[in-house]
A and B are shown apart, each in its own frame.
Chain A
Amino acid sequence: MKQLQEQVARNPEGDNLIIRTAVRLLVPFIQLYGLYVIVHGHYSPGGGFQGGVVLGASFILLALAYDLKTSLRFMSERVNNLLSNLGALIFIGIALLCALLGGLFLDYAALERLIPLGAEEWHSLGIFLVELGVGLAVMSIMVSLFWDLASGGDMEEGL
């Protein structure tokens, strides 16, 4: 509320006030929905790609309603790069772990030697972990695509 009053004082004509307030209220729910789409991909339409795009869209919405600098405060470029690397590494790491544990590459049933849950359950869990990695990678790549394309690469001012 205080931030809002400051903003009104700074910007008396209030050109973007409604949009900014609506976006600030909406973004947490969009992110929650994106997480739901990723995590619930086993039981409903969804999965890593779709949820990752929804999560990325929330950050893009922030950058559109405020400006690029403000969206960089919520998600810095460094963290974004880290997340994209982490997402790709989770996928390949799970696949390599399967190979190291004695199964085939990407054969999630081999993870049973780590925690015995049953081969089918590990197939389900392995898909879940992999989708998590895909979601992280897709989210951060979408955000970085938008940042670079909107600002022409110098991250000074966007759309």
Chain B
Amino acid sequence: MKVFALLATLATGIVLLYGTRDFAPWGDPDSPANSHLSRVYIERAVEETHVPNLVTAILGDYRGYDTMFETVVIYCAGMAVVCVLRRSRS
């Protein structure tokens, strides 16, 4: 059983390492992740929101829906833990 798990893990690792051949090298300023949308965020965030911390600006403003439903997710997690575990003192 453990041998199969090890084989599956190794196979997944090899496939992923094969996939990294197409990735940009580390720290490349012109990699696809750094060149399209994030450029616009970096250039416009300060003048549109007056917040110097770009992470906060994107988190609270541009991706506001993301953050809002994330608060809902963590709230639901807390309520779920209370519902699953809480026993009233009897």
A and B touch in the complex (CB under 8 A): yes
Q: Which B residues lie within 8 Å of A34 (CB)?
A: none
Q: Which B residues lie within 8 Å of A131 (CB)?
A: 56, 60
User: Looking at the complex, which of A11-19, A66-74, A146-154 is the stretch in contact with chain B?
Assistant: A146-154
Q: Is the CB of B68 within 8 A of A106?
A: yes
Q: Is the CB of B78 within 8 A of A127?
A: no
Looking at chain A's contact residues, is the secondary structure mostly helix, strand, loop, or mixed?
helix
Is A65 engaged at the interface, CB distance under 8 Å to the other chain? no
Q: How large is the interface on A (under 10, 10 to 19, 20 to 34, 35 or more residues)?
A: 35 or more
Q: Which A residues lie within 8 Å of B64 (CB)?
A: 95, 106, 130
Q: How large is the interface on B (under 10, 10 to 19, 20 to 34, 35 or more residues)?
A: 20 to 34
Is B23 engaged at the interface, CB distance under 8 Å to the other chain? no
Chain B interface residues toward A at CB < 8 A: 47-53, 55-57, 59-61, 64-65, 67-68, 71-72, 74-75, 77-78, 81-82, 85-87, 89
Q: Given contacts A124-B49, A148-B81, list 16 more A-B pairs with CB under 8 A.
A: A43-B52, A46-B56, A95-B68, A106-B68, A120-B48, A123-B49, A123-B51, A126-B61, A127-B49, A127-B61, A131-B60, A134-B71, A141-B74, A148-B85, A148-B86, A149-B85
Chain A interface residues toward B at CB < 8 A: 41-47, 84, 87-88, 91-92, 95, 106, 108, 120-121, 123-124, 126-127, 130-131, 133-134, 137-138, 140-141, 144-145, 148-149, 152-156
